[in-house]
Protein backbone atom coordinates (compact mmCIF):
# COMPACT_ATOMS: atom_id res chain seq x y z
CA UNK A 1 0.00 0.00 0.00
CA UNK A 2 1.62 3.25 -1.13
CA UNK A 3 1.17 6.13 1.27
CA UNK A 4 3.38 9.12 1.89
CA UNK A 5 3.88 12.10 4.14
CA UNK A 6 2.89 15.22 2.22
CA UNK A 7 2.58 18.97 2.76
CA UNK A 8 5.24 19.03 5.49
CA UNK A 9 5.59 22.59 6.79
CA UNK A 10 7.22 24.18 9.81
CA UNK A 11 5.35 27.37 10.74
CA UNK A 12 6.74 29.93 13.21
CA UNK A 13 4.51 32.32 15.16
CA UNK A 14 6.65 35.41 14.44
CA UNK A 15 9.79 36.42 12.52
CA UNK A 16 12.11 37.64 15.30
CA UNK A 17 12.58 36.60 18.93
CA UNK A 18 14.48 37.91 21.91
CA UNK A 19 16.46 35.54 24.14
CA UNK A 20 13.67 35.68 26.77
CA UNK A 21 10.89 34.63 24.36
CA UNK A 22 9.18 31.30 23.96
CA UNK A 23 9.12 30.08 20.38
CA UNK A 24 6.06 28.26 19.09
CA UNK A 25 6.61 26.18 15.98
CA UNK A 26 3.74 24.28 14.37
CA UNK A 27 4.71 21.14 12.49
CA UNK A 28 2.01 20.50 9.88
CA UNK A 29 1.81 17.48 7.58
CA UNK A 30 -0.62 14.98 6.10
CA UNK A 31 -0.60 11.28 5.38
CA UNK A 32 -1.84 10.82 1.81
CA UNK A 33 -2.21 7.94 -0.59
CA UNK A 34 -3.92 4.58 -0.44
CA UNK A 35 -4.07 4.43 3.37
CA UNK A 36 -6.14 7.61 3.47
CA UNK A 37 -8.28 6.61 0.47
CA UNK A 38 -9.30 3.18 1.80
CA UNK A 39 -10.26 4.50 5.24
CA UNK A 40 -13.93 4.94 4.36
CA UNK A 41 -17.32 3.98 5.74
CA UNK A 42 -17.64 0.80 3.69
CA UNK A 43 -14.23 -0.49 4.82
CA UNK A 44 -14.60 0.45 8.48
CA UNK A 45 -18.06 -1.20 8.50
CA UNK A 46 -16.52 -4.38 7.02
CA UNK A 47 -13.72 -4.23 9.59
CA UNK A 48 -16.19 -3.83 12.47
CA UNK A 49 -18.20 -6.85 11.27
CA UNK A 50 -14.96 -8.88 11.35
CA UNK A 51 -14.23 -7.70 14.94
CA UNK A 52 -11.36 -5.53 13.76
CA UNK A 53 -12.33 -2.34 15.58
CA UNK A 54 -9.12 -0.36 16.11
CA UNK A 55 -6.52 1.31 13.93
CA UNK A 56 -3.43 2.91 15.43
CA UNK A 57 -0.93 5.33 13.90
CA UNK A 58 2.39 6.08 15.55
CA UNK A 59 4.13 9.26 14.52
CA UNK A 60 7.24 11.10 15.52
CA UNK A 61 8.58 14.60 15.09
CA UNK A 62 12.18 15.66 15.53
CA UNK A 63 13.32 19.29 15.29
CA UNK A 64 16.96 19.81 14.39
CA UNK A 65 19.08 22.93 14.13
CA UNK A 66 21.51 22.79 11.26
CA UNK A 67 24.89 24.37 11.13
CA UNK A 68 28.31 22.81 11.39
CA UNK A 69 26.72 19.91 13.27
CA UNK A 70 23.06 18.94 13.35
CA UNK A 71 21.65 18.72 16.85
CA UNK A 72 18.20 18.16 18.35
CA UNK A 73 16.47 21.37 19.38
CA UNK A 74 13.98 19.63 21.69
CA UNK A 75 13.43 16.05 22.77
CA UNK A 76 11.87 14.11 19.85
CA UNK A 77 8.11 13.63 20.11
CA UNK A 78 6.66 10.13 19.71
CA UNK A 79 2.90 9.86 20.01
CA UNK A 80 -0.17 8.04 18.67
CA UNK A 81 -3.51 8.54 17.00
CA UNK A 82 -6.10 5.83 17.40
CA UNK A 83 -9.33 5.21 15.51
CA UNK A 84 -11.91 3.11 17.36
CA UNK A 85 -14.77 1.71 15.31
CA UNK A 86 -18.04 1.27 17.21
CA UNK A 87 -21.75 0.59 16.79
CA UNK A 88 -24.44 2.86 18.24
CA UNK A 89 -28.08 3.86 18.02
CA UNK A 90 -27.39 7.18 19.71
CA UNK A 91 -29.88 9.65 18.15
CA UNK A 92 -27.35 12.49 18.47
CA UNK A 93 -25.05 10.65 16.07
CA UNK A 94 -27.41 8.96 13.66
CA UNK A 95 -27.32 10.77 10.36
CA UNK A 96 -30.88 11.51 9.14
CA UNK A 97 -29.80 10.94 5.53
CA UNK A 98 -29.20 7.19 5.95
CA UNK A 99 -29.19 4.33 8.39
CA UNK A 100 -25.64 4.72 9.63
CA UNK A 101 -24.83 2.71 12.74
CA UNK A 102 -21.05 2.20 12.58
CA UNK A 103 -18.98 5.19 13.66
CA UNK A 104 -15.34 6.08 14.15
CA UNK A 105 -13.93 7.87 17.17
CA UNK A 106 -10.45 9.33 16.69
CA UNK A 107 -8.29 9.84 19.77
CA UNK A 108 -5.73 12.64 19.37
CA UNK A 109 -3.44 12.97 22.38
CA UNK A 110 -5.99 10.92 24.36
CA UNK A 111 -8.84 13.33 23.50
CA UNK A 112 -11.75 11.52 21.78
CA UNK A 113 -13.29 13.16 18.71
CA UNK A 114 -16.31 11.94 16.72
CA UNK A 115 -16.93 13.44 13.28
CA UNK A 116 -20.04 12.97 11.15
CA UNK A 117 -18.53 12.63 7.66
CA UNK A 118 -15.89 10.38 6.13
CA UNK A 119 -13.73 13.31 5.07
CA UNK A 120 -13.84 14.88 8.55
CA UNK A 121 -12.79 11.54 10.08
CA UNK A 122 -9.90 11.31 7.60
CA UNK A 123 -8.80 14.86 8.42
CA UNK A 124 -8.76 14.13 12.16
CA UNK A 125 -6.82 10.89 11.70
CA UNK A 126 -4.42 11.73 8.86
CA UNK A 127 -3.81 15.51 9.08
CA UNK A 128 -1.35 16.68 11.73
CA UNK A 129 -0.74 20.08 13.31
CA UNK A 130 1.55 19.74 16.31
CA UNK A 131 2.59 22.86 18.24
CA UNK A 132 6.06 22.66 19.75
CA UNK A 133 7.15 25.29 22.27
CA UNK A 134 10.79 25.91 23.04
CA UNK A 135 12.78 28.63 24.73
CA UNK A 136 14.79 31.01 22.56
CA UNK A 137 17.54 30.91 25.19
CA UNK A 138 18.09 27.20 24.38
CA UNK A 139 19.11 28.21 20.85
CA UNK A 140 21.19 31.21 21.88
CA UNK A 141 21.73 34.47 20.03
CA UNK A 142 22.06 34.69 16.27
CA UNK A 143 20.30 33.20 13.28
CA UNK A 144 19.25 29.57 13.40
CA UNK A 145 17.94 27.29 10.69
CA UNK A 146 15.55 24.71 12.13
CA UNK A 147 14.10 21.79 10.20
CA UNK A 148 11.65 19.02 11.02
CA UNK A 149 12.00 15.28 10.47
CA UNK A 150 8.76 13.29 10.59
CA UNK A 151 7.85 9.59 10.48
CA UNK A 152 4.52 7.75 10.54
CA UNK A 153 3.95 4.02 11.00
CA UNK A 154 0.95 1.74 11.45
CA UNK A 155 0.17 -1.92 12.05
CA UNK A 156 -0.54 -4.29 9.20
CA UNK A 157 -3.04 -7.12 9.46
| Domains of the chain as residue ranges with CATH | 3-154 (2.60.40)
How far apart are alpha carbons 48 and 24 in whole angstroms?
A: 40
* pLDDT reported for residue 74: 86
Instruction: Give yes or no for a contact between 25 and 63, defined as CB atoms under 8 angstroms apart.
Output: yes
How far apart are alpha carbons 9 and 30 in whole angstroms?
A: 10
Residue-wise burial string across 96-117, b where 16 or more C-beta atoms lie within 10 A, e elsewhere: eeeeeebbbbbbbeeeeebbee
Per-residue pLDDT of the chain (157 residues; tens, 9 = 90+): 689 999 999 999 888 888 888 989 999 999 999 999 999 999 999 999 999 999 999 999 999 887 777 788 888 989 999 999 998 876 666 655 466 678 899 999 889 999 888 999 999 999 999 999 988 888 888 888 888 999 999 876 5
Amino acid sequence: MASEISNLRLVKDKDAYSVDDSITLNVKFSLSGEMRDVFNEKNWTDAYEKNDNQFKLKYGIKLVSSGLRKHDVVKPIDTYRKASIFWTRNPKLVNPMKEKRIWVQVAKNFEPIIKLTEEDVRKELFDFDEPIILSASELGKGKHKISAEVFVSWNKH
